[in-house]
Chain A
Amino acid sequence: MDSFVQLLQGFATAGTWENLLYCTIGVTIGMLVGVLPGLGPTTVTALLLPLTFGLDPIPAIIMLAGIYYGSMYGGTITTVLINTPGEAASVITALDGYPMAKQGRAGTALGVAAIGSFVGGTLSVVGLAFVAPPLARLALEFGPAEFFALIVLGLSLIVGLMGKSLIRGLIAALFGFILSLIGQDPITGSLRWTFGQPHLMGGLDFVTIAIGMFGLSEILIAFEQKTEAGAKIAAKIKGLLPRREEWRPTIMSILRGTGIGFLIGLIPGSNTVIPNILSYTVEKRLAKDPPRFGKGAIEGVAGPETANNAYCGSALIPLFTLGIPSSPTIAILFGAFIMHGLTPGPTLMQTDADLVWAIIASMFIGNLILLIMNLPLAGMWARIALIPPRYLYPVVLIICIIGAYTVSNSLWDVGVMLVFGIIGYLFRKLDIPLAPVVLTFILGNLMETSMMQALIGFQGNFLGFFQRPISGTLLAVSILIIALSVYSNIRNRRNLLGGDAEE
């Protein structure tokens, strides 16, 4: 009941003209990001984060969150209409969405995707509203040892799931972790790895690294890829609803997609591609005639599209309740919280409840705005995807520079962005995943601080972590996951889920 009352208060806050405006701006940018191939939500959230310095925390985070879940809608349109997934989460939709468009059913594919996205997004926000408070209360009981173990678990999942090579995944994670240690030691205050450079005393800034690794490297890679000259919109959009006999399987796919997306979102280290693939696989397995899949099966669009939007809502639960970002985009939202003087974690729901509930309420509103923007304007959004990179990416380059400069009004940050742009470019070329770099960078300090605090309590005894039930169990699970990853790597069976998805 408490949650319901607080949610209503959240609606009152999110419903002010200012917050509605920023929510609309956020979801519109999110749609653009989803529509434009190459530009991912992580890149754009990182680029726009410094530009929210002047805003209050509530509109700033409402806008950035809007970019995150809005991008899931946009990608579908270009996938269905021009067979060009705007972001990784839409790749699976192309399998059946584009064939549907070629059969003259683009409207139905987009309609089902939009309805599924709305249902999945909304139900997962309902779940977020009711699961997050009790989980946060439970997390308040956690001590440094439990937090350390939880972070280790999150990181082991990230490394286990991302990248084609476990060695390269681990290198990426360690690289990010080492970068996070630069600057002042949080416990003793002594300086580490500053090389006499005053700019490094406060450590490297997350936003600068993210802009370089995701933004600048994206520009370099985008210019290498040939634009699809002559890409055409597959069909006119008419008849947004499924046929009468398709309603039942569509609704069932949407409900299953919601469940799959919601559950996967709770796992730190997952990404939007995983619920999509799982949902598609489940739909194909449950279908009476699986050969239809790949040729325009409506369940192949409804399930995955619902799953990735349901994932977005529940992926915020580990952030709000445990202070652990589950994906790179959420890590940037984590950075936004820090930048605005807020600490994500179990105390956030108590100290800044109005903010959390306003964000949750804004997601309901944002999903509704997206539904309205999606259906009648799908053709317009698809045309935006045809903007040639030669116009688009120079503009993104200037935004990268402004974004990096704004971090501390210093050209030092632009230089750091340039260096990490080159590193990000080379990493991507060599299949070294970027997601573990940013996630360990943002969690590194928290992990070290909680480990040190716990060890002081254990008088330096490392076995102390295993003598507490929760931390011991979490660490054992982490060890198991890493062992399984090593085993699968040795057997060379790292599968489809092993791709580095930006989200």
Chain B
Amino acid sequence: MKNAGAWMACALMAFALVMGWQALTLRYYTKFGPGSGFMPVWSSVLLFLLSAAYLWESLRRDVIRFRDILPEGKTLWRNVTILLAVLVFILIVPYTGFVAAGIVLLLAVFLFDFKWYAGLALSVTIILIFFYLFRTLLKVPLPVNALGW
């Protein structure tokens, strides 16, 4: 249960199974030669077999446990926060716009290393600089709210 390599191998096998199952709905062969399902079927089968070999390797030869590769404590929480912050950004940016969502995102990351007011000041400064640099100077489209920011 604690073997990270084995879990990854199982995830890859499941991925290969789903993709392979879907690939069977495609035409495998046509009168001109291989059809659109030819490569998907074979690549899924090969990935499944290799993942099975990886599972064997993970269990027998090269055991990598979660505790060996994943961080702990504050570092783990910081990484989880970064991922959640990106997810929150995706969810709120259509309503709040880039500036507000970006500040929330950066603040969540900065709070691990700075006092809230310093983190907020850094977040606001960086986002405003980026907004000006990309949207105004480089004309790069950014997700904005009804007010244009």
Number of A-B contacts (CB under 8 A): 146
- The reply to whether the CB of A402 lies closer than 8 angstroms to some CB of chain B is yes
- The reply to whether the CB of B146 lies closer than 8 angstroms to some CB of chain A is no
Residues A171 and B40 in contact, CB atoms below 8 Å apart: no
| Chain B neighbourhood of A429, CB < 8 A | 4, 64, 69-70
Cβ 8 A contact of A181, one of B40, B46, B127: B40
- 20 more contacts with CB within 8 A, not counting A165-B54, A429-B64, are A171-B12, A171-B50, A171-B51, A181-B39, A181-B43, A193-B22, A220-B82, A224-B79, A393-B109, A394-B122, A394-B126, A395-B126, A397-B86, A398-B106, A401-B89, A402-B130, A405-B143, A421-B86, A422-B83, A429-B69
- The reply to whether the CB of B145 lies closer than 8 angstroms to some CB of chain A is no
Cβ 8 A contact of B40, one of A178, A394, A397, A415: A178
| Chain B neighbourhood of A170, CB < 8 A | 50
What secondary structure prevails in chain A residues at the interface with B?
A: helix
- The reply to whether the CB of B105 lies closer than 8 angstroms to some CB of chain A is yes
Cβ 8 A contact of A51, one of B19, B51, B140: B140
What secondary structure prevails in chain B residues at the interface with A?
A: helix
The 6 A-B residue pairs with the shortest CB-CB distance, nearest first, are A185-B36, A460-B33, A455-B33, A429-B69, A390-B113, A190-B36
- With both chains docked as a complex, state the minimum distance between the C-beta of A51 and any C-beta of chain B, in angstroms: 6
Q: CB within 8 Å of B: which of A447-487?
A: 448, 451-452, 455-456, 458-460
Residues B27 and A409 in contact, CB atoms below 8 Å apart: no
The CA of A426 and the CA of B70, in the complex, are separated in Å by: 9
- The reply to whether the CB of B8 lies closer than 8 angstroms to some CB of chain A is yes
| Chain A neighbourhood of B33, CB < 8 A | 452, 455-456, 458-460
The CA of A331 and the CA of B127, in the complex, are separated in Å by: 31
Residues A430 and B4 in contact, CB atoms below 8 Å apart: yes
> 9 A-B Cβ contacts within 8 A?
A178-B43, A220-B79, A390-B110, A390-B113, A394-B106, A405-B141, A405-B143, A411-B93, A430-B8
The CA of A411 and the CA of B144, in the complex, are separated in Å by: 12
| Chain A neighbourhood of B110, CB < 8 A | 390, 394
Residues A405 and B142 in contact, CB atoms below 8 Å apart: yes
- The reply to whether the CB of A168 lies closer than 8 angstroms to some CB of chain B is yes
- The reply to whether the CB of A187 lies closer than 8 angstroms to some CB of chain B is yes
- With both chains docked as a complex, state the minimum distance between the C-beta of B105 and any C-beta of chain A, in angstroms: 7
Q: CB within 8 Å of B: which of A137-196?
A: 165, 167-168, 170-171, 174-175, 177-178, 181, 185, 187-188, 190, 192-193, 195
Residues A171 and B54 in contact, CB atoms below 8 Å apart: yes
Cβ 8 A contact of B27, one of A51, A53, A174, A190: A190
- The reply to whether the CB of A382 lies closer than 8 angstroms to some CB of chain B is no
Known: A394-B126, A411-B143. A402 touches B75 (CB 8 A): no
- With both chains docked as a complex, state the minimum distance between the C-beta of B137 and any C-beta of chain A, in angstroms: 11
The CA of A279 and the CA of B86, in the complex, are separated in Å by: 43
- The reply to whether the CB of A418 lies closer than 8 angstroms to some CB of chain B is yes
| Chain A neighbourhood of B22, CB < 8 A | 192-193, 195
